[in-house]
Homo-oligomer: A and B are copies of this chain.
Amino acid sequence: MADGQGRAHRYAVIMAGGIGSRFWPQSRRRLPKQLLAINGRHTLLQDTARRLRGAVRPTNILVVAPRELVVPIRRQLATLPRANVLVEPSARGTAACLAFAVAQIARRDPQALVAVLAADHVIADVAGFRRSLDTAFEIAASERSLVTFGIRPTAAETGFGYIEVGAAVRRRAPRVYWAARFVEKPDAPTAQSFLASGRHLWNSGMFVWRADVFLDAVRRHAPRIARVVDGFARRGGAVAARRAYARLPPLPVDVAVMERAERVAVVAATFDWSDVGSWAAMPGLWGTDAAGNATRGNALLLECRGTVVYGGTRLLAVLGVDDLIIVDSPDAVLVCPRSRAQDVRRVVAALARGRGRHLC
């Protein structure tokens, strides 16, 4: 594929939904994690778009998000055409969301090569990402396969899905394999064996495919989703399609499509990657001091170890604690152990009962 011609066909869909409840109190319903500058000067969404600069034309970058996030997203990505921010009909999982978004691209360009990215991933090595992305675009075009990015595991994570890799797709591209098997979040011993095997990669949730190849796979493996999405293209069918969409069972694209598809290639990423799952991920992103503390903003730590502090306008003064997470926000402060970072959702759930003002 000639590079010049190829680039014109390249698209990206950035999935920008999700409420980021584990990032409360910074993350709010109307300004969730992906719209926060939690890792630097730009928001995670902005970083995601910037990572595509030169690889995908701004006019070919679509963002799909719930209606209430459209305004802040347009503000954050001012160079994107306004119409490129798609409103997700309702939150019914990534399978339906991507079928919906890719179908819109396919109407313009059925052979579009579409990279699917999450708005809340952090990748520092942009050059490495771009090399892997180029490889994935090429494989998606030449092999007509669904392509996924696999991340070399650095720990026996039980919070991620894994992909077992099989044979190399091409002799010349040693980091591209056929996917042998998708495995949902494993238990700890299984995760340990995956880490040791060298043949299991984390499923990053980033994909590249040709629009028609993906929609064909949806038609075959998730026909109900395909039918509903087709409805949006029918003249006057949008209202009924929206209603049908809302009744879809919420399914991740991995489960509904990728696991069932025949030809799935895996590009083993050479770049760093974090899904920024919780405040506990921050030491890996921000770096730490000699005592393992990771801090941002207005903070004073005395004799602390392994503590994550995100200061806001107020000073967070922390003395003699180990392995805590402390996060300031204009109307609320969170304190919990790092080991409970996942359970910040429970705080959010508790606040939903009567103190919802702290969630908005």
Contact = CB atoms under 8 A, between A and B. Distances in A.
Nearest to A341: B319
Contacts of A340: 319-320
A314 B331 contact: yes
Interface in A138-174: none
B319 A335 contact: yes
Interface size class of A (residues with CB under 8 A): 20 to 34
Given A302-B347, A347-B300, A350-B302, A336 B318 contact: yes
A246 interface: no
Contact of A336 (B321, B334, B347): B321
A336 B335 CA distance: 11
Nearest to A331: B314
A335 B316 contact: yes
Interface string A222-254: 000000000000000000000000000000000
Contact of A319 (B315, B317, B331, B344): B344
A300 B355 contact: yes
Interface in A330-350: 330-337, 339-340, 343-344, 346-347, 350
A178 B13 CA distance: 86
**Copies of this chain in the oligomer:** 2
A333 B315 contact: yes
B300 A350 contact: yes
A174 B259 CA distance: 86
B321 A335 contact: yes
Interface string A291-333: 0000000001010000000000011111111001010101111
A334 B319 contact: yes
Contacts of A355: 300, 315
Contact of A25 (B317, B330, B351): B317
A196 to B, nearest CB: 31
A57 interface: no
Contacts of A347: 300, 302, 317, 319
Interface in A251-286: none
Contact of A317 (B316, B324, B335): B335
A358 interface: yes
Contacts of A334: 317-319
Contacts of A343: 319-320
A300 B356 CA distance: 13
A342 B120 CA distance: 42
A332 B319 contact: no
Contacts of A324: 321, 335
B332 A335 contact: no
Contacts of A350: 300, 302
Contacts of A315: 331-333, 351, 355, 358
Contacts of A358: 315, 317
Given A302-B350, A314-B330, A321-B324, 16 more contacts: A24-B317, A300-B350, A300-B351, A302-B346, A314-B332, A316-B333, A316-B335, A317-B332, A317-B335, A318-B335, A318-B336, A319-B337, A319-B347, A320-B337, A320-B340, A321-B337
Interface of A: 24-25, 300, 302, 314-321, 324, 326, 328, 330-337, 339-340, 343-344, 346-347, 350-351, 355, 358
